[in-house]
Structure 1
Amino acid sequence: MNRPGYLLMYEKLLDYYGPQGWWPADNPFEMMIGSILVQNTSWRNVEKAFQRLKPYLEENVIYDMPVDELALLIRSSGFFNIKAKRIKSFMEWYSRYDFDVDQVRRVEGGRLREELLSIKGIGQETADVMLLYAFQHPVFVVDAYARRIFYRVGFNMPKTYDAFREKVEGEVPGSLALYNEFHALLVEHAKVHCKAKPICEGCPLFTFCDRRLDES
């Protein structure tokens, strides 16, 4: 890998899968709620929760809704009592900005990340997903799919979340569009080829992948 490996991987995935058009949501608020609902579950379960939640999916409605009522609506997402409390904590924070996404976008990225991480139940991955897809700050999202694919391809990445993220960001141009697409492409690749049990035949990364499968 004589040329920047992360970019080569990105380009091969983009050529193979094409633009993904992520995040799958109708608006930024739905995207933010979805990023909490998807914690420790599949997107399929989130979609089921959204079917019940959709009629109530307005900022003021969710803010005023009792936590037990919200929990019942999102039951299919798993850990629904915990997630309902996390959503309510998030809504308390969001209310400080009058539920105005444009106000939040004007906040400096580092400060905004610290604010998101101070919300109970919002960890590094969820905060970065919100930063990237809702608040339009360029950041590389380190999820389980990224860890799996980077390891198998042959990149020796740091164990900690921020060190992994910073290593990628230090070598990949800080473009909002690129980070947006990169994350979506890694998710798609993990679903199609680089599964827990990988399907290497036809994989767009096969020619330079080390295929380290034993610890992934």
Structure 2
Amino acid sequence: MPATLTDDLNLIYDALFAAFGHQHWWPAKTPFETMVGAILTQNVSWKNAAQAIRNLEDAGMLDPHLLAAAEAADIARLIVPSRYYNQKAERVRGFARVYVAEFGADPETMASVETGELRERLLALRGFGKETTDTILLYVCKKPVFVVDAYTRRIFSRYGLLPEGASYDQTQRLFAGNLAPDAELFNDYHAQIVRLGNTTCRRTPVCDRCPIREVRGKIRCAVGRG
């Protein structure tokens, strides 16, 4: 039988898992920390976002009620490492207010909302794009929503599974339409993609170290071809 996109995507995931092991994402102590991290990591490395989170924690401010009531300037001073800290302070405070007022600061209450409805509510928040929203849906609410980032587009266009310049929705459909809706799989698959993009499939790729450069001789990266 001819290979399907499902086969291809599963082969790639299996090769990444064999190379890197389970990634145990998202790296956070609490669901609320994950939510704040999803906001702070916008347009910056996770290392910078993590430092900003540590600053909030050290100041005793990593609490939805405290952040909802805080002055934006006070939040901004603590999250300077995350860049665009004034904008992000407003986004963190705005989200914290909704999280407290509408969900009682309870991740289980938030997760109980139907996926499409919750996604639309989060997307309506100022500064919340699809990646930030889907990160919260997947990593906090355990919804089977595939998170897309720049690494996903880069890697899978190089493999010819996406066209150059694929949109967020087009990229998400590649996974959602060809894999079972499994939150645990989507969780680790996205984390594996981030690991590959960080270490190997960079803008200037290190192809000789790539664990999926050639998967069983049939899925081949265009960049790695001589």
| Same structural fold, with TM-score higher than 0.5 when normalized by the shorter chain | yes
Q: Tell whether the 8 Å contact from 2:162 to 2:171 is kept in structure 1 after alignment.
A: no
Q: Tell whether the 8 Å contact from 2:68 to 2:94 is kept in structure 1 after alignment.
A: no
Q: 2:174 & 2:204 partners in 1: Cα distance?
A: 27
Q: 2:120 & 2:137 partners in 1: Cα distance?
A: 11
* 2:92 partner amino acid: I
Superposed CA offset, 1:55-103 (max 9, x none) = 2111211111111100111011100000001111111221211101110
Residue 2 of structure 1 is matched in structure 2 by: 3
Where in structure 1 do 4 or more consecutive aligned residues deviate above 3 Å?
A: none
Superposed CA offset, 1:1-22 (max 9, x none) = 8242111111111111110000
* 2:44 partner amino acid: T
TM normalised by structure 1 equals 0.94
**Aligned-pair distance for 1:106?**
0.6
Q: 1:36 and 2:43 equivalent?
A: no
Q: Tell whether the 8 Å contact from 1:97 to 1:103 is kept in structure 2 after alignment.
A: yes
Decide which moves more: 82-91 or 47-56: 47-56
Correspondence list, 1:119-198, <5 A: 119-157=125-163, 159-198=166-205
The partner residue of 2:53 within 33, 50, 54 is 50
Percent same amino acid among aligned pairs? 37
**Aligned-pair distance for 1:165?**
0.8
Higher relative contact order (CA 8 A, sep 6+): 1
Correspondence list, 1:9-158, <5 A: 9-54=12-57, 55-95=60-100, 96-157=102-163
* Structure 1: 5+ residue stretches without partners: none
TM normalised by structure 2 equals 0.90
Aligned-partner SS, 1:179: helix
Superposed CA offset, 1:132-159 (max 9, x none) = 0011101111100101110112212472
* 1:211 partner amino acid: A
* 2:56 partner amino acid: L
* Structure 2: 5+ residue stretches without partners: none
**Aligned-pair distance for 1:163?**
2.5
Q: 1:7 & 1:112 partners in 2: Cα distance?
A: 28
